[in-house]
């Protein structure tokens, strides 16, 4: 048997499938090893901020995954021109439909690289005071003074006026007995 015809002049073969899986795993795990080497042997000796190191490591992972998928699809026998055309059309549609998600995702990169806030900072956002508990790629966890923990989209920190009370040399908390104007 030479293979199972699947249309478009392509034939399904077990050898192509196994080759595609092997290439995907090899490239994917190579990128993971590169991430570990970067983290342990290179980035740990630099003076970069923690968020910058994490962003570099995360981007290496995404690049490795994309490369692994592309190479394995090509090795399976698919025409890359056709796949590129289809994926470009899909990416435009998905991009329009998921603008908010992408905005928060890239805002997370900005927060991790520029570090306008970091975990433990006391902030004021939209008139509410709170402490930053955790910064994720899409959202940030803030515990407000009334002990509520709120998940805030990262775009709120990038696009809104933000006051970081922990950035200056001295931080202070104002406490009013009956309001600020008594």
Residue 19 CA to residue 23 CA, distance in Å, equals 6
Q: Are 117 and 134 in contact (CB under 8 A)?
A: no
Determine the pLDDT at residue 182.
Answer: 44
| DSSP 3-state percent helix, strand, coil across the chain (nearest 5) | 55, 20, 25
Q: Are 126 and 152 in contact (CB under 8 A)?
A: no
Tens of pLDDT, residue by residue over 78-118, are 767 777 777 787 777 777 777 877 788 888 888 877 888 88
Q: Which stretches of the chain are assigned E, i.e. beta strand?
A: 4-7, 10-12, 122-125, 128-135, 139-144, 149-153, 162-164
Average pLDDT score over the chain: 81
| Mean pLDDT comparison of 24-33, 126-135, 171-180, highest-scoring range | 24-33
Q: If residue 72 lies in a helix (H) or strand (E), which one and from where to where? A: helix 50-76
Q: Are 61 and 29 in contact (CB under 8 A)?
A: no
Tens of pLDDT, residue by residue over 16-72, are 888 889 999 999 999 999 999 998 999 888 887 777 787 788 888 888 888 898 888
Q: Are 149 and 133 in contact (CB under 8 A)?
A: yes
pTM above 0.85, yes or no: no
């Amino acid at each position: 048997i030479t293979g199972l015809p699947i249309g478009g002049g392509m034939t399904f073969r077990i050898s192509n499938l196994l080759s595609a899986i092997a290439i995907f795993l090899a490239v994917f795990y190579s990128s993971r090893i590169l991430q570990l080497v970067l983290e342990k042997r290179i980035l740990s000796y630099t003076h970069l901020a923690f968020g910058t190191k994490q962003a570099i490591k995360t981007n290496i992972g995404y690049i490795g995954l994309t490369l692994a998928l592309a190479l394995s699809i090509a090795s399976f026998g698919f025409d890359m021109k056709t796949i590129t055309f289809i994926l470009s059309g899909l990416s435009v549609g998905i991009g329009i439909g998921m603008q908010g998600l992408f905005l928060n995702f890239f805002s997370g990169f900005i927060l991790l690289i520029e570090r306008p806030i970091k975990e433990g900072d006391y902030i004021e956002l939209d008139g509410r005071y709170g402490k930053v508990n955790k910064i994720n790629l899409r959202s940030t966890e803030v515990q407000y003074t009334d002990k509520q923990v709120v998940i805030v989209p990262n775009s709120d920190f990038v696009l809104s006026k933000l006051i970081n009370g922990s950035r200056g040399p001295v931080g202070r908390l104002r406490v009013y007995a009956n309001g600020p104007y008594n």
